Amino acid sequence: MKEILLLLLIPVAVFAGKFDFSLTTAAADYLERRVEPGEDHFAGVAGPCNGAKAAVYLNGTFKQPTPLGSHWLVKDADFKLTAALELSPLSIRPLVKAEFTPVPFLVFGAGGSIGSGWQFFGFDGMSVYDDDKREYEDLTPFKHYYYDFWASVTFQFDTGALIKGDWSHVVMLASYQWIYKGITGVNDGEIWEWQVIPGEANGWQYYVTAVLGYQMPLFLDMVGFMAEFYGHFDRSDFDRKYKGFDGEFMWIDLSLLLEFELNKTNSLKTLFTVEGDRSFSEYHENSSQQPFLTRTGREWSFFRIALIWDHKF
């Protein structure tokens, strides 16, 4: 009898949750920098565009309350399952992620994606580095696939939970993500490019994000600062012939974040980013020359201007 009741309750529990659907459109312009050799330094802007990226994400999220008790700290626990489809001029990629929030300030997540890319008007969606030609060669779409899978833990806090009022919301977030990235049919140790980002290789990586922002009851909903740190755990992900390239290098992105609340269903985020990229011992004209150069420091530059529009249905 207990087994029968359990089977009857399962669909009730499932449909007690809530479905939400949204559309996210993201676009970024990567500025051309004036490359300089040497140790740590700041490089000036050489041109308005060295690359661009745009994508649309169709998102569907199922949220299921999972209270762990009646205490205020755990009564609002929930589980979210999100499926998304990323479409861009360079690629197509379905994504899925799951998030569990046992307490308001802690989120555990996991997910993955798989997709394929192609060349479009000179921009590489998916390619592999050719040592002999010293350039990236396109991979055949839908014969090769990019894939990743990851797990994360996020701490988040809003001072508005302790201090009531419209002007008391200082938002803090810190997230650590373990992620494996690869492309099928590409040997371990080879260098590849995905969605105009070169210098990658199959292997485990980390991605750390920290955000400090101030939220206001205005059209300009939030002003904040975001720091991102990411890279490979082990330089052995790259073949030994690329040892000067420094596979363990950690990128640093520092961004001014502005968020605008357009209305109840639409919001717009803007990012102005300064990046700390590799600096090499000698001058080079493009990223295709980098794998056989020797890193000597970090080159800071005004890197990106990005817009992210979110629409809730």
Positive or negative, the Cα torsion across 242, 209, 304, 256?
A: negative
| In a domain? residue 5 | no
Q: What is the pLDDT of residue 255?
A: 98
Q: Is residue 168 a part of any domain in this protein?
A: yes
Q: Is the pTM of this model over 0.85?
A: yes
Measured from the Cβ of residue 281, the count of other Cβ atoms closer than 10 Å reads 14
**What 8-state DSSP symbol labels residue 238?**
B
Domain presence at residue 83: no
Domain of residue 264, residue span: 23-60+114-312
pLDDT at 160: 92
* pLDDT at 122 (0 to 100): 84
Of 29, 31, 27, nearest in space to 302 by CA = 31
Q: Is residue 170 part of a domain?
A: yes
Q: Distance (Å, rounded) from C-alpha 187 to C-alpha 102?
A: 40
- Between the CA atoms of 294, 297, 302 and 306, what dihedral angle is there, to the nearest 10 degrees? 70
Nearest to 33 by CA among 18, 17, 49, 14: 49
User: For residue 82, is it within any domain?
Assistant: no
Instruction: For the chain, report the end-to-end CA distance as a whole number of angstroms.
Output: 42
Q: Is 30 among the domain residues?
A: yes
CA distances from 189 to 26, 74, 181, 202, 310 (A): 31, 45, 12, 7, 37
Instruction: For residue 85, tell me if it sits in a domain.
Output: no
* Nearby residues of 214 by Cβ (< 8 Å), 6 or more positions away: 169, 170, 171, 222, 223, 224
CA gap 256, 276 in Å, rounded: 15
pLDDT of residue 51: 82
- pLDDT value for 16: 64
- Please list the alpha-helical segments (H only) found in 78-163: none
From CA 309, how far away is CA 22, in angstroms rounded?
10
In a domain, 173, yes or no: yes
Tens-digit pLDDT string for the chain (313 aa): 444 333 433 444 445 689 999 999 999 999 999 999 999 999 999 888 888 899 999 999 999 999 988 888 888 899 999 999 999 999 999 999 999 999 999 999 999 999 999 999 888 899 999 999 999 999 999 999 999 999 999 999 999 988 999 999 999 999 999 999 999 999 999 999 999 999 999 999 999 999 999 999 999 999 999 999 999 999 999 999 999 999 999 999 999 999 999 999 999 999 999 999 999 999 998 899 999 999 999 999 999 999 999 999 9
Distance CA 235, CA 99 (A): 30
The CATH number of the domain holding residue 232 is: 2.40.160
87 within 8 A of 95, measured Cβ to Cβ: no
**Per the structure, how many domains does the chain have?**
1
Encoded tokens for 67: 């209270």
Closest C-alpha to 147, from 126, 131, 174: 126
* Amino acid 76: pLDDT: 87
C-beta separation of 189 from 172 below 8 A: no
